[in-house]
Amino acid sequence: MSNKDIYILGIESSCDDTSAAILKNNKVLSNKIANQSIHKKYGGVVPELASRAHLSNIIPVVESAIKESGISLNDISAIAFTRGPGLMGSLIVGTEFAKSLGVSLEVPVIEVNHMQAHILSNFIDNGKKKPGFPFLGVTISGGHTQFILVEDYFKMKILGETLDDAIGEAFDKCGKKLGLDYPAGPEIDKLSKLGDEYKFNFPLPKVEGGNISYSGTKTAFINFLHNNINKNKNFIDENLQDICASIQKNLVDNLLNKVNFLATKNNLNSIIFGGGVSANSYLKNRLEDESRENNWEIFIPELQYTTDNAAMIGIVGYLKYSTSKLSDLKSTPLPRYSF
């Protein structure tokens, strides 16, 4: 690696957020995100609408990231983009934009795996201690729930994952049944703060080994609501905070049981979280308790780098650029991009 500073433009467009970031080496100069509120009224992401919104957002978001960073387009050393996993139409916008800009600026492009980026976002320089290898990487988002053995930046092995719904999906689907807007995770988090997490009990799925399941919880939750609404039509309104706190506890218990199992089995005491659900405040509190009990060292990215963002794509771009892991213009989107 030369002594010259490296400037990376990161681009993220895998789902419903269009984001662009500029990094100077491993530091973030700007990180702009255009959220797509259009999906709210549909209770989930509508792929066709997401691609269209990316098309109109991408240029303004990139321009705004460059402006805020204080650099100019010509300073950029390379462009990192999300190749997958994600929605095909959404990925196409970011991928093709990145490659076209790369050609016009005559700089290399670097493909990034979105799930690796959620983990590696913990390596963005924020003046705090960075994790050492090996560690257990836990990615918890709307599309994924994975437990990963991370031996080096790009040496990752999946130890277990969801057999059906992702944890964020479970938050969102349960929230939808309660009449909350998409994505319901942050709202459940907020409402739960005033609720009693022991008020209602939901069964915990029994899945052997490192995998996890959330679809049974969703079904149990729907049945629970039906039964109670049959008895009292105002059941949700009268118990909203307690229902939220109780289902949130169940979703987090399920996750922490697996984290415990896999950390013990693989002798790992450094645990890193990434993905939207790692913003959950109840999970963070529970992790504080668990880390004291089990001697774990926990790493969670800063809030702005937990949900989908381009700074996490930029840090992977920086790490790959530094080790000459560049891509070429044949790189096409991979909706199911595993590593």
Interface residues with ligand KG4 (CB under 6 A) are 15, 141-143, 168, 171-172, 183-186, 189, 275-277, 279-280, 307-308
Report, in Å, the least distance between residue 308 CB and ligand KG4: 4
Which CB sits closer to ligand KG4, 61 or 101?
Answer: 61
State the binding partner of 307 from ligand KG4, Zn ion, none, CB within 5 to 8 A by kind. Answer: ligand KG4
16 near Zn ion, judged by CB under 5 A: no
Report, in Å, the least distance between residue 80 CB and ligand KG4: 17
Q: In sequence order, what are the residues at sequence separation of 6 or more whose Cβ sits closer than 8 angstroms to the Cβ of residue 153? A: 120, 123, 319
Task: Round to whole Å and give the CA distance between 184 and 101.
Answer: 36
Number of residues lying near Zn ion (CB under 5 A): 2
Which CB sits closer to ligand KG4, 101 or 172?
Answer: 172
The pairing of strands 145-152 and 135-140 is: antiparallel
271, 135 Cβ separation under 8 angstroms: yes
State the binding partner of 150 from ligand KG4, Zn ion, none, CB within 5 to 8 A by kind. Answer: none
Report, in Å, the least distance between residue 88 CB and ligand KG4: 15
Q: Write the CA distances from 221 to 115, 199, 234, 280, 294, integer angstroms.
A: 28, 14, 17, 20, 31
Can you name the residues that pair with 11 across neighbouring β-strands?
20, 81
Amino acid type, 320: K
DSSP string, 106-167: T--EEEEEHHHHHHHGGGS-SSSPPPPSSEEEEEESSS-EEEEEEEETTEEEEEEEBSS--H
Can you name the residues that pair with 212 across neighbouring β-strands?
162
Judged by CB under 5 A, the chain residues 136 through 155 that form the site for Zn ion are: 141
Report, in Å, the least distance between residue 258 CB and Zn ion: 19
Which CB sits closer to ligand KG4, 89 or 102?
Answer: 89
308 near Zn ion, judged by CB under 5 A: yes
Report, in Å, the least distance between residue 27 CB and ligand KG4: 22
Judged by CB under 5 A, the chain residues 179 through 238 that form the site for Zn ion are: none
State the binding partner of 110 from ligand KG4, Zn ion, none, CB within 5 to 8 A by kind. Answer: none
Report, in Å, the least distance between residue 181 CB and ligand KG4: 10
What is the phi-psi region of residue 212: left when phi exceeds 0, alpha when psi lies from -120 to 50, beta otherwise?
beta
17 near Zn ion, judged by CB under 5 A: no
18, 33 Cβ separation under 8 angstroms: yes
State the binding partner of 108 from ligand KG4, Zn ion, none, CB within 5 to 8 A by kind. Answer: none
77, 106 Cβ separation under 8 angstroms: no
Residues that bind Zn ion (CB under 5 A): 141, 308
